[in-house]
Amino acid sequence: MMPEEQQKIPGPEQWFAACRTEDVVLNGGVCVKYGDEQIALFYFTRRNEWYATQNLCPHKKQMALSRGMLGTKNEEPKVACPFHKKTFSLVTGECLSGDECDIKTYPVKVEDGIVFIGVNV
Ligand code: FES
């Protein structure tokens, strides 16, 4: 198996190695680039869960969600944009502030201290 093929896992998505687990702040996020896409990667430490969404906040088109604050709404993990505090589900991407501006989410997995994000190819 070629080294490039070892990175690929069969399925509808391709996983890419985003960073090491220690590169992500506790209860916070970082911005990861994949091609032209900016992806916000979050480690929700209290829940020991990883999430990834688009970094672009659809409200005023700010590349800001990776700097958002994590929290929960009725046990649903969410991120609040640092600009105007609109909140989005980290599971579904639904805007929880009552606006019609959902965001894209990505699957995340951790293997041997490396965080992988699943993307459609
Ligand atoms: S730019 Fe994100 S809430 Fe306004």
| pLDDT value of position 13 | 77
Q: Residues in the chain with pLDDT < 50?
A: 1-6, 9-10
Residue 61: phi and psi, rounded to 5, are 55, 45
| pLDDT value of position 120 | 85
Q: What is the pTM of this model?
A: 0.88
Residue partners of 37: CB distance under 8 A and separation at least 6: 54, 119
Q: Residue 89 C-alpha to ligand 1 middle, in angstroms?
A: 15
Domain 18-120: assigned CATH number: 2.102.10.10
Q: Residue 27 C-alpha to ligand 1 middle, in angstroms?
A: 20
| pLDDT value of position 11 | 52
Residue partners of 106: CB distance under 8 A and separation at least 6: 39, 52, 53, 117, 118, 119
